[in-house]
Amino acid sequence: MFVKDVTVQNQVGLHARPATFFIQKANEYKSSIWIEKKERRVNAKSLLGILSLGIVGGTDIRIIADGSDEQTAVDALVDLVESGFNDENR
């Protein structure tokens, strides 16, 4: 299991479009991946799960992965969050 904490940088947080990009990135990995906000943990590959957390800009979240590519997955997702989802214009 690999875990990292990160602060959501973009203003809107993980809503609709940024959450979709996050899920697409998470689905590139075989590991099971979760997002944790305070005491709630949801599947990072589930749009409804992520949206249910109500993550706004400035929120601290924890990204957790468990599997063969766990560290690579967490590092890539942390980079995406820290970038403020700048690659939204793909």
Q: Catalytic site residues?
A: 15
Q: In sequence order, which residues have a C-beta less than 8 Å from that of residue 43 and are 6 or more positions away? A: 32, 33, 34, 49
CA–CA dist 12, 27 (Å, integer): 22
DSSP string computed for 35-74: EEETTEEEETT-HHHHHHT---TT-EEEEEEESTTHHHHH
Residue type, 22: F
